[in-house]
Amino acid sequence: MGGITGITVGELAASIGGKVINQQDKTGGVVENYMLGALTPDSGLDYFSRKQKKAAIIRQEREDMQLAALETSTVCLVLSGEDKAPAYRVLQKANSRGIPIITTTASVNDIVTRIDNKLAKPADTYK
């Protein structure tokens, strides 16, 4: 377990039924915050700058929000809705910044529920 306040990228991927498609050596990074892709036309950069050490959970088709999240303190990018590779620009930016991308067919709502369930488990289950 990555600690009381966070889980590792690898644990996150396993708990949401996702797979890490790049930066396999970074799956031990600890996620301390979670942010959902902005649903407004506001600047994604302003939105994602609000939290550090986060997993940014964004729908697969929102390349603009994915790129914005990658410009901030992001531990991993979680792409929901489809289990396919992200846009080339997103993958290129993630690789240049050393940020793992997790893909999953789960919806954003399902991902949030699974994270809540994972974080709600008593601490002794992580020993």
Residue 81 lies in a domain: yes
17: left (phi over 0), alpha (psi -120 to 50) or beta: left
pLDDT value of position 44: 83
Residue 20, in any domain of the structure: yes
Phi, psi of 122 (to 5 degrees): -60, 145
Q: What are phi and psi of 46, to 5 degrees?
A: -60, -45
Q: Report which residue type is found at 54.
A: K
Q: Supply the pLDDT for residue 1.
A: 35
3-class DSSP assignment, residue 105? coil
In a domain, 127, yes or no: no
Report yes or no on 126 lying in a domain: no
Q: Is residue 76 part of a domain?
A: yes
- Is the pLDDT at 39 greater than 60? The verdict is yes
Residue 107 sits in a domain of what CATH number?
3.40.1390.20
Give how many domains the chain has, as a whole number. 1
Q: Indicate the residue type of 69.
A: A
For the whole model, what pTM was predicted? 0.87
Residue 2 lies in a domain: no
CA distance 62 to 29: 24
pLDDT at 20 over 90: yes
Residue 22 above 70 pLDDT? yes
What value does the mean pLDDT take over residues 69-86? Answer: 93
